[in-house]
Structure 1
């Protein structure tokens, strides 16, 4: 379903004839088991591979003789290629007709690199493997998002994205439990526990890569669909432009960079990821503090207490998985994404804001922490769908730009959290800063309607007069009501630009 590229920043085209609802549901029931298990498992393994170093850190640092500074440097080095190479990776994927093969190659590369971590002996080898892992995983998230966008229109993609993003949340639950089992294999086959952890998780990604070879490149290649079902899927794409595939990817990059919505969403993503990963990086230490295990004169933490901390971390993530699907179901059913995301992120900000005032009472503090974490991660499926709807054919590269800025936030958040913790001797100030970042992200999402993004895009293209007219004023209420429409705007050359307003 190739479409002509749109002007810089153009949103998806106006809606066409409605798709046959019954045939579309049948088509989606056939697509889901063919696509979502492999997509979700790939996302899960990417997350597990990223967190394996932290879970193996106790044994790994002792085996390699790494100081805390050397270990922290190795962990941080992952972020450098991860942020820098997301856009080139997505451009390479966009240039291919069979993009599933690019994803297969990425899984082989990052799986082999993760498995090779079992063979490192020096800190320099550790640094090299972290750099390679960041380079190969850079294209994972935006690549998987863009792949799904070839099968689901913007009205139908929220639930599939929720399945993928739910697997990332699930990795935070099963990751520590899986790591505990693999670390206990120390001595089997002459390998240490941390080596088994890297080997099993890395080789699992290589195994899943072979499934990608047989994945369809787009909906036209799904032979199980009847002509009626295929026609229904095609009709559903009348209001959606899939990510650009083939052609001049530099032109696609220029369109993404010229889209003001990409810049706005990148800032929002930076704020939200800085808040989220600042909290996640200190979750175990924060729980120890809430449990009174960091108080002066406290006894050393026992193994039973460490197990309790792991189980406590899993609890809010379990709630977040349920909330993720509830929000996605409501968003897709109502055809609204923006306020679903803003509400969830606002709840997360409220939980963070209340947490410092609840410290001292474990039950209340843990409840605030659970509310904060659930709200911060539960709207991810609807959030990515909303960010896609703000873009046209450049959405694949645009999502890579957005996720790159999220990677910067992922690096900055823990640094801010750690420095404030060290300066103040507690977590209250740091948590209030994270609450502010999360609140700004929620407000930003609420303010960024597709109609607003269209006005920015037209102003960027010079296709509309500054300040707008009566038609502009009428566009926002229509968008807020969830209506779609189109209008013609006279440009300097008397040409007309077709505009789609969608909430």
Structure 2
């Protein structure tokens, strides 16, 4: 065996060991953080089962309140991500978590439409920087060829929040009248408090860069720091690194439109699924367990889908096919006349929505670096959330009041997912045409 072959084997073994150690240190922790983030923004779906009556909300008003979260989320997204890059993930993520945990708990004291709107708005401001910040943070710690799988592991927190959080939320709703509080008030208080505590923990647990990773051996730390610097240098040589270049890049807009469909689907399920399923007569506790089923399916399948995307180095078809499946699942949910058919439709939709996101989030850093990557990721998240997270819940609530059921709203969301599938396919074809041989090689890694 040649010296070069031995060296390649040693490098591969070192890479495997480093990625495994970094994954064990970072991934479980950020999964828990995103679990709480997503739970704190969608637990309003369970609360709305009785809160709407208690504080005087129509379905349309509830949809506005659910969607107005994203007005704050959009406004603060890019500034928050740039602040994270400047002050460091450890400080910024800890600060955001303490803020949004307190605000989520404070929703227990909403007394009418306007206080509900206001609390949801400022909750969006506080949560804005977390998700795009973590996507950026992962690009500091994981080589690009491993990133879709790690992103998928991180993003399992969204369906996990529905899967585990649904039975918890259903149980908390049964505390009606305990200590003179409504069940929905207990829901917000109990699910907001752990976020504040873990925000404090994250300040001491997270590290900003591989160079600070005292828990890696010196050789491991040096390899990882050098590998990530090599990737940054390669991207800088062929990509744009200024904030303005991200803002004006049409590829950022196209990815935002793709993300909009997945956001509309994610929050249609996260916020409205409890109410859609509840019409089949389940109790609060039963509803919690039934709502967990589609999310369990999504957790397993999205990880397998992302692993295949990393294995093949292919992104566009993994995004497009997943969005297509999600659109079909939403159509089935709209047509569903039984609980079983509804659960099958929601399971397919859940798979597609969640499986599309990890390969999608591996795409911006293929053509952006530095401040442009921070701004571009935040801009995709903000614009996608504006179109999907804000408009989606509002339209569903309005169509529910107009049509008397949720079918029209689910058809609307299905259409947005079909558009996302088409745009993802076109983006990939256009991007492949624009890349030279060197850039295609980097994109595959």
Q: Same fold (TM over 0.5)?
A: yes
Q: Which protein is bigger by CA-based radius of gyration?
A: 1
What is the correspondence of 1:389-400 to structure 2 with a 5 Å cutoff? 389-393=366-370, 394-400=372-378
Q: Determine the structure 1 residue equivalent to 2:322.
A: 344
Aligned pair 1:444/2:423, yes or no?
A: yes
- Please give the alpha-carbon distance, in whole angstroms, between the structure 2 residues aligned to 1:434 and 1:61: 23
Contact 1:350–1:372 (8 Å) recurs in 2? yes
Kept in 2: contact 1:19–1:236 (CA 8 A): no
SS at match of 1:78: helix
SS where residue 336 of structure 1 aligns?
coil
Structure 2: segments with no counterpart, 5+ residues: 1-7, 236-240
Bigger Cα displacement from structure 2, 434-443 vs 319-328? 434-443
Q: 1:263 to 1:353 in 2, by over 3 A?
A: same
Q: Of 15, 23, 39, which aligns to 1:24?
A: 15
The residue correspondences of 1:313-324 to structure 2 (distance < 5 A) are: 313-324=291-302
Matched position secondary structure for 2:145? coil
| C-alpha distance in 2 between matches for 1:160 and 1:434 | 28
In structure 2, the partner of 1:272 is 262
Output the CA distance in 2 between the equivalents of 1:313 and 1:288.
9
Of the three residues 187, 190, 204, the one matched with 2:194 is: 204
Cα deviation digits, residues 125-169 of structure 1 (max 9, x gap): 433322221110111111111112111121122222112100111
The match for 2:42 is 51
Q: Are residues 112 and 324 of structure 1, via their aligned partners in 2, closer, same or farther at CA, if it must alter by over 3 Å?
A: same
Of 63, 68, 73, the match for 1:77: 68
Q: Say whether residues 1:405 and 2:383 are aligned partners.
A: yes
Is the Cα–Cα contact under 8 Å of residues 118 and 195 in structure 1 kept in the other structure?
yes
Show structure 1 runs of 4+ deviating over 6 A. none
Q: Deviations over 1:438-493 (max 9, x none)?
A: 122122222323972783xxxxxxxxxxxxxxxx7xx4xx69xx951xxxxxxxxx
Question: Is the 1:390–1:453 contact (alpha carbons within 8 Å) kept by the matching residues of 2?
Answer: no
Alignment match, 1:496: none
| Aligned Cα root-mean-square deviation (Å) | 3.2
The 3 A distance-change label for structure 1 pair 182 and 93 is: same
TM-score, structure 1 as length reference: 0.75
Output the CA distance in 2 between the equivalents of 1:221 and 1:155.
22
Out of 430, 435, 445, the residue aligned to residue 414 of structure 2 is 435
CA distance in 1, matches of 2:337, 2:89: 52
Aligned to 1:13: none
Residue 268 of structure 1 deviates from its aligned partner by 1.4
Q: Which residue of 1 aligns with 2:96?
A: 106
Q: Does 1:333 align with 2:324?
A: no
Structure 1 runs not aligned, ≥5 long: 1-16, 245-250, 294-300, 456-471, 485-499
- The change in CA–CA distance for 1:403 and 1:24 in structure 2 (over 3 A counts) is same
- Inter-CA distance 395–450: structure 2 relative to 1 (3 Å threshold): farther
User: Residue 362 and residue 186 in structure 1: after superposition, are their counterparts in 2 closer, same or farther (change >3 A)?
Assistant: closer
Which structure shows the bigger proportion of residues in helix conformation?
Answer: 2
What secondary structure is seen at the aligned counterpart in 2 of 1:39?
helix
When normalised by structure 2's length, the TM-score is: 0.84
Aligned length: 429
1:193 aligns with 2:176: no
Query: Which residue is 2:238 aligned to?
Result: none
Asked if 2 retains the 8 angstrom alpha-carbon contact of 1:275 and 1:438, the reply is: yes
Relative distance call for 1:43 and 1:450 in structure 2 (3 A) is farther
Contact 2:46/2:275, CA 8 A, preserved across alignment:
no
Distance 1:346 1:235, change over 3 A: farther
Q: CA, structure 1 residues 122+483, in 2 after alignment: closer, same or farther (shift >3 Å)?
A: closer
